[in-house]
A and B are shown apart, each in its own frame.
Chain A
Amino acid sequence: MTFWIASSPHNHIKAATPSLMRLVILAAIPGVFAQWYFFGWGTIIQIALAILFAVLAEITFLAARDKNIKSQITDFSAVLTGLLIGISVPSLAPWWITAIGSIFAICVVKQLYGGLGFNLFNPAMAAYVLLLISFPLEMTSWQPVSSLLVEDISLFNHFWLILTGYTWEGFSVEQIRMSVDGITMATPLDTLKTDLTLGLTVNESFANPVFGEFIGLGWEWVNIGFLLGGILLIAKKAIDWVIPVSFLGALLVFSFIAYTISPDSSASTMFHWLSGGTMLGAFFILTDPVSAATTKKGRVLYAVLAALLVYLIRKFGGYPDAIAFAVLLCNMAVPLIDQYCRPRTYGHKGVN
């Protein structure tokens, strides 16, 4: 009678990496739903395209690396990367933007570094930055929320627009982005930045219809959707609460300081929380375990650094939003942060 020999510990928490990834994907649903609600089918089409290309790229690369394709595809990490890229790109961006982003994220940022667990940078954010720098026009062509559009765009027209750049009727993305009075619409962050450079105060700028009644028409709900998803993740212990809380707290503090110093030229704390990719970044991007800090102190430092960078770039930088840049810069700092934030081992009081 022989038995199965195994090493301790024998029992194991039921959580596993694939289920973790699935949970994160599911947690993104409220935000994606909000995005669909305000920006139409374009978002869903982009997400689908991104996931498709990401998974194809992953399969191709795993085959080239002679790896077990099935087990690595089913960890859903490529799907999550695709999802994040799809959420990040403008909903009416041409399909090849998404394709380039997904392929770059998987092939270069993830697999060339050694695959899951070895990538230094967050693949989705690295891809986003690549796209933003390479194709600034397409990447900043966010359409206004559907309610501000002159014409309603059908699912088919969204599809056609993304594939060809024109609706079936022949309108270009630029024409669609025009408001009733013929002015190109931008995101609230973009609008505010432009207005502030034009010498307007924050309050004057907020008269623009993109801001809606509260902070940014549509965007506030998208952010709230991701916040809900993030809270779900924390509740499910899929992510550590330290990073999002530190990040949002630090962003609050920085924007509050700026707001008290110069209320006319600084947006409110809530504006920073609920516009752009703040919540997506806080709960879905910065918490990416692979590229985030692993030590407790390190995570706090990492999140605070990200918040500082986000604020500085939003306020002083050339780009309206800064989550992607901040995340990449913090990713770079992670090895250093972890090196100096190692916890003191039990029984080593006064030694390290």
Chain B
Amino acid sequence: MDSVLERINKNQFWKFPGGINPPEQKFLTNDKPIKNLRLPEELILPLKQHIGNTGELLIKVGDKVLKGQALTRSENPMSVPIHAPTSGTISAIKNSVIAHPSGMAELCIFLIPDGEERWVKRNIVENFYSLSKKQIVEKISDSGIAGMGGAGFPTSIKVNTSPGLNFLIINAAECEPYITADDLLIREHSSAIINGIDILDHLLEPKAILIGIEDNKPEAIAALQAASKKNDKIKVCVLPTKYPTGGEKQLIQSLTGQEVPSGVIPRSLGIVVQNVATIFAISEAIINDIPLLRRVVTVTGQALSKPQNVWALLGTPIEHLVEQCGFNQTEKQRVIMGGPLMGFSLPNLQVPVVKTTNCILAPTNAEISPAMKELECIRCGQCADVCPSSLLPQELQWQAKAKEYDELEKLNLFDCIECGACAYVCPSQIPLVQYYRVAKAEIRHNRVQDFKAERAKLRFEARKVRLEKEKVAREEKHQKALAARRAAAKTSEGQANNSAIAAALARVKAKKAQTGDTAMPDATDNADVKSRAAQAIERAKAKKLAQQSSANEVNIADDSKSKAAAAIARAKAKKLAKDKVANADKDSSDPIKASANTKASAETSTAETKLSASDEKKAKIKAAAAKAKAKKLAKEQTQQTDTDNTVPVKASANTEADTETSAAETSVSASDQKKAKIKAAAAKAKAKKLAKEQAQQTDTDNTVPVKASANTEADTETSAAETSVSASDEKKAKIKAAAAKAKAKKLAEEQAQQTDTDNTVPVKASADAGAGAGAGAGAETSTAEIKLSASDEKKAKIKAAASKAKAKKLAKEQAQQADKDNSAPVKASADADADAETSTAETKLSASDEKKAKIAKAIAKAKANKSSAKSTSTSISDDDKKKKISAAISKAKAKKSSPSINQEESE
């Protein structure tokens, strides 16, 4: 910093690389004062005169405006207002060609001056130090001041910075060969410029203020030196004439030796650069309250007879300027806004003067020859020699022609300031800058495209995710809705179609409850409508057949026939029922009636539902046959029972009804499960037969036990039936299960039958055991469910069922053969057994594919049972299957051993 000032004090400056010395043409205009032009007939004020955004219109067509009145307003700091340069009327607000290289049209305010020059009220500030910094910045912004040297960056942003700069640099270099606007402005208004510098000094508090000016403006230098004597901070730095000294970066390098890093603003180095014309505008705005209304424009070129600097109101059409300077249009005439190196040619003369317009150049062809034909690059490298940014223009040119945009960015294309020095020196007349502009535009465009593509990609992916989510949500919703619909349908249909069945079941339950039994089938499990309907059919048929006492005579293929037959059968059944009732002992009329009622209700539903499952004939027929047998037996039994046995008989009848209901359920629900059901039915039938026989043969004193066992049976069968319903493809498993249960029951019954009449307590115990078995059956229900979920687990389950069955058998046998005194232990073991089996089933439920685990559990339970029975026998093989078997065996053994009785049972 100090060394920099030291050097500056010695008038030693730095050099920037490259640069050119094009022929000076300032003499055309620098010897004449700035001319005040008469008012133009119309002013065209583009809303956008600088980098940034346009403001919001404050006026409308037809409004009368005063000089200095703001025409636009904006809260956006990147936007500054425009003002009416003179008083007049707004004649139009429309698109018009603006000062832009492309000659594009933008929204402009057209103002017709009234010539009265009536000002808005102004507030002249004698002493700007009385204003706060914020007020000054606001004033600068409100006055519409934007950088007047180049791109037109809003000045208020540049000066709205924390104070404590290193350097405030005033750019008075004016390096373009023709332009003298700043030169003349300094010469004529040096004191105002120094005032402007003082304002910025007050605002920014820089350590030093450097005025950079080229040595080709001796009068301006003298004027500045004279005016700046009061302020020690101001140093007028006279730089050698070299284009482009006036470039911001080049000026900073020349004055301070510092390079502004690429992509960084000078403020980061503690430097702010302001153009001298901007300084003048600030001074005018703060002190005289004159917004930016006019500027000095150099109107020059040899196509003009009187080239001169003029005060041009913003919005003045170029035509007005050149006409007043004696414009003689030549062939291939170009009119350039700006200097010959960085200016752009105008499409017509209606383009207005804007805040950044410093020169209008109308050269003759001899003066500035139109572009020659481009020749091949001969790699002379002169362009690289003159490049102030130390780029390699010839390489950039090749890459630009080849559209190698990546390579261009590597060559730092975006550090090109488009000064035009390379194209100026190119011996092959290659319009290098034009190539760079096109390439830059292309790269920017590509970046935008890439950005858009990236965003589109993100959007697409987000959308995909969203759609996926929506799909999932929709499916969930659908499923929920479906489930709800199903549930609703079930409820309603269940209510509608199955009221009869439900009623029958309810009745059965009620009766059962009367008999004091607690094991009851769950009525709510009857989910499937069809199954219920079919159940009813089954029941009806079964009864019919039962009443007829002849089983297999129905061989009907046709639906209608079958219905007819069914009807006939029902009729017969009723008849028989009546007969039966008639034949029955008068004392037992109540139970018989009950059974008749059951049948009747069952038949009602049969009629309704036969239709729905017409192709299930054979299965049903067989089932019916089986049931018929069962009932026949039951009836015979009922008939033959002693009249004293009223209660037991009743119970058994009830049981039967219940049982058959479930059996029907079994066969109906899964139409292809014929065999399974048939067998199941057969098994049940057998079971019932036995039960009846037992009931029949029981001693009349044995009322309670018989009752209990019967109930147990009913319960068991219900569950068994349910089991087969729920898993239709699990035929074998179910069959076996059913068979196993049947066996179990048979044994139970036998046991019950053979018990001593005095053995009330043991028998009860066995009944309990039976109940336990019922529980086991319940467990089996769940087992079946498991099968549903994992159908390949059949064997395992089958074995489990088999083993359970065996276990029960053993339990029963054991119970049967138990010593009368040992009744309590027996009970305990039976209970334990039942419990164990229940949990086994549960285990299977929870993890159906985990055979081994279950096996192990079973083993464990087996062991537990064993130990509870204080038994020690173990034989557990490692093999999976064997394990289960052995588990069962061990359980059996455990039970066997627990009563300390030696038994020989065949397994």
Contact = CB atoms under 8 A, between A and B. Distances in A.
A318 interface: no
Contacts of B177: 11
A343 B384 contact: yes
Interface in A212-271: 240
B17 A346 contact: yes
Contact of A1 (B329, B334, B427, B434): B329
B763 interface: no
A25 B52 CA distance: 54
Interface in B360-385: 361, 363, 367-373, 375-381, 384-385
15 contacts: A3-B333, A3-B346, A6-B334, A7-B344, A10-B361, A12-B423, A13-B425, A17-B427, A117-B428, A290-B378, A293-B381, A294-B394, A343-B384, A343-B392, A346-B17
Contacts of A296: 384-385
7 cross-chain pairs, A with B, having the tightest CB-CB distances, nearest first = A9-B420, A347-B262, A294-B381, A289-B380, A117-B376, A7-B434, A346-B389
A11 B341 contact: yes
Nearest to B336: A10
B467 interface: no
Contacts of A290: 378-379
A55 to B, nearest CB: 18
Contacts of A344: 390
A117 B415 contact: no
A291 B377 CA distance: 12
A296 B825 CA distance: 113
Contacts of A240: 381, 385
B772 interface: no
B55 interface: no
Given A13-B20, A117-B378, 11 more contacts: A6-B345, A8-B336, A9-B342, A10-B336, A16-B372, A75-B375, A117-B376, A289-B378, A290-B378, A296-B385, A342-B392
Interface string B342-364: 11111111000000000001010
A7 B177 CA distance: 17
B329 A6 contact: no
A119 to B, nearest CB: 10
A1 B323 CA distance: 13
Contact of B376 (A10, A11, A115, A347): A115
Nearest to A339: B395
A149 B389 CA distance: 59
Nearest to B338: A8
Interface in B15-71: 16-17, 20, 22-23
Interface residues of B, number: 76
A117 B377 contact: yes
A7 B433 contact: yes
A347 B259 contact: yes
A9 B427 contact: no
A116 B371 CA distance: 21
Contact of A8 (B259, B343, B373, B388): B343
A2 B348 contact: yes
A351 interface: yes
A5 B103 contact: yes
Contacts of A294: 379-381, 384, 392, 394-395
Nearest to A115: B376
Contacts of B881: none
B349 A1 contact: yes
The B contact surface, by secondary structure, is loop
Given A71-B373, A294-B379, A9 B433 contact: yes
Interface string B833-866: 0000000000000000000000000000000000
A290 B423 CA distance: 18
Interface in A7-49: 7-13, 15-17, 19-20
A8 B344 contact: yes
A4 interface: yes
Given A5-B345, A10-B341, A348 B381 contact: no
A23 to B, nearest CB: 11
Contacts of B113: none
Nearest to A116: B376
Output the residue of B332, B369, B379 with the most chain A CB within 10 A: B379
A17 B375 contact: yes
A92 to B, nearest CB: 34
B814 to A, nearest CB: 96
B383 to A, nearest CB: 9
Given A17-B427, A343-B390, A347-B415, A4 B376 contact: no
Given A3-B348, A4-B333, A347-B260, A15 B425 contact: yes
Contacts of B377: 117
Given A3-B334, A344-B390, A346-B389, A10 B368 contact: yes
A15 B376 CA distance: 15
B391 interface: yes
Interface in A56-77: 71, 75, 77
Contacts of B646: none
B762 interface: no
A345 B368 contact: no
Nearest to A114: B376
A118 interface: yes
B340 A9 contact: yes
B15 to A, nearest CB: 12
Contact of B343 (A10, A16, A299, A348): A10
Contacts of B433: 7-9
A8 B249 contact: no
A157 interface: no
A347 to B, nearest CB: 4
A337 to B, nearest CB: 12
A208 interface: no
Contacts of A3: 333-335, 345-349
Given A11-B341, A294-B394, A347-B249, A289 B412 contact: no
A10 B434 contact: no
B343 A12 contact: no
A8 B342 contact: yes
Contacts of A348: 261-262, 412, 415
Contact of B341 (A9, A17, A71, A293): A9
A12 B344 CA distance: 15
B267 to A, nearest CB: 15
A335 B261 CA distance: 28
A348 B17 CA distance: 14
